[in-house]
Amino acid sequence: MKILLVALGTTARAHCIAEAIASSPSEPGLVAFMQAKNPGVMKLAKAVKIGKVTDLEALKKFAEEQSPGIAVISPDDAVAAGCADALLEAGVPSVGPLKTLARLESSKAFTRELVSKYGIPGNPEYLVFTRSNATEIPAYLRELGDGYVVKPDSLTGGKGVKVSAEHLESHEEAIAYCHEVLKTHPSVVIEEKLAGEEFSYQFLTDGKTVCPTPIAQDHKRAFDGDQGPNTGGMGSYSYPDHSLPFLEKADLEKAMEITEKVAAALKKETGFDYKGVMYGGFMKTREGVKLIEYNARFGDPEVMNVLPIIDSDFAETCAALANGRLSSAKPRFKQLATVCKYAVPEGYPTNPAAGRQIEVPKNAPGRYYFGSVEALGEGNTVFRMGKSRAVACVGIAPTIGEAEKIAEKTVSMIKGPVFHRKDIATPALLQKRVDHMARILGRSK
């Protein structure tokens, strides 16, 4: 069976998914439709077509030429544009939801209203504002006080959300930002600001069966100590027990319950089964587990904490999921810790040094997944960087400490004008997370 991967090509996520497909015991043939030539995918795919992932006609034509059994859709804009719908028209079912279901990610308002309508727990206090009721924004901000979050109601590449005291210093700034958003978006969502620890919980589902994957924690801030501007994600980690040290079994069960109920609500609301990844961003708070958002695809970097330790046939799971039979091929994962650290261009994310060269050795102890880089020459050790995250470096080991050391050594071996966060998954940062949660829960000494 052939499997079609739809990807941007400028993210390490694409390389990681491609590796998981290509290394499956069933030996599927990988073909790829990408916007850019990802060096990792290019080495693994038997056929590649370069084109915009939102060009649905070009995608359908490539699918008709290649006749894949299923497709795996990687990026958020491809999912939101209706790639799954277009491929289904060509007779190819996807790991990736239909456009109407992809609103789970592409519309913050849709998800909040869905959770509220069906009485699902996890929503923070929120209101949705459009141009017609924008005059009510100041009153709601006064009601929330100093703690609020402003979210544009569409895809923003992870950089549109603004939080009080971090990005917005006053109600006046918040109001101005809301009006700026409403010039180009249908609505804006204002929510209460939650206090706690975030975690990423990715689920595979065919709309009926919901399968969890190892929980990870992402690091958005650019610099050590959670300093600097937000990024697409500087790295992430997961523990061998597939949980995190500040979480309890009940927290995992609550996040799973929310996801199962949302999947069922989506079927009732749209009439279609959600087939793909439901990547939940959750927060453990004093009041319990809250839902921050859902993404309709694997996370980046969190996919690097999940697929490299899969202990079952990923291609078989994808085929079962796409065809509504996930219960017959549930994924299994090894009891190993993972740590991902991204090498990014100097100046990232505000003024990245694009176009400069780096050297990536082949003898590193961990794994490299290529993102926004172009291979130079046949040796595949020298690359030209783009403006985004360049190389994801992953350490895998029985303990989190060993995995962190492997990831750190691996990323440190890259030569050139790059930097990375050295503190991800270090004992000090992990303890900081645990202590923070203890203070939130009132358990600190």
Domain CATH code at residue 58: 3.40.50.20
**Do 281 and 423 sit in the same domain of this protein?**
yes
Residue 369 lies in a domain: yes
SS3 for 389? coil
- In this structure, is residue 116 part of a structural domain? no
Domain that includes residue 304, residue range: 196-431
Residue that finishes a domain, picked among 168, 192, 216: 192
Same domain, 81 and 147: no
> At which of 192, 224, 243 does a domain end?
192
- Are 281 and 309 in the same domain? yes
Domains contained in the chain, number: 3
Pick from 157, 192, 227: which residue ends a domain?
Answer: 192
At 176, which CATH number?
Answer: 3.30.1490.20
Full pLDDT tens readout for the chain, 445 residues: 899 999 999 999 999 999 999 999 999 999 999 999 999 999 999 999 999 999 999 999 999 999 999 999 999 999 999 999 999 999 999 999 999 999 999 999 999 999 999 999 999 999 999 999 999 999 999 999 999 999 999 776 666 889 998 889 999 999 999 999 999 889 999 999 999 999 999 999 999 999 999 999 999 999 999 999 889 999 999 999 999 999 999 999 999 999 999 999 999 999 999 999 999 999 999 999 999 999 999 999 999 999 999 999 999 999 999 999 999 999 999 999 999 999 999 999 999 988 999 999 999 999 999 999 999 976 679 999 999 999 999 999 999 999 999 999 999 999 999 999 999 999 999 999 999 999 999 976 5
Asked if 27 and 158 sit in the same domain, the reply is no
Same domain as 414, residue 382: yes
Asked if 327 and 221 sit in the same domain, the reply is yes
81, 134: one domain: no
What sign for the dihedral angle of Cα 302, 304, 309, 314? positive
Both 244 and 347 in a single domain? yes
Kindly state whether residue 117 falls inside one of the protein's structural domains: no
- Using CB atoms within 10 A of its CB, is residue 146 exposed (0-12), middle (13-18) or buried (19+)? exposed
3-state secondary structure of 199: strand
Residues with Cβ < 8 Å from 407, sequence gap 6 or more? 235, 339, 340, 341, 366, 393, 394, 395, 424, 425
**288 in the same domain as 388:** yes
Q: Identify whether 113 is part of a domain.
A: no
The two beta strands, 188-192 and 357-359, are unpaired
Does residue 252 share a domain with residue 389? yes
Going by C-alpha positions, the residue among 70, 59, 63, 58 that lies closest to residue 24 is 70
Residues 202 and 58 in one domain: no
Query: Which is it for the CA torsion 245, 246, 251, 252, positive or negative?
Result: negative
Same domain, 249 and 381: yes
Q: Is residue 104 part of a domain?
A: no
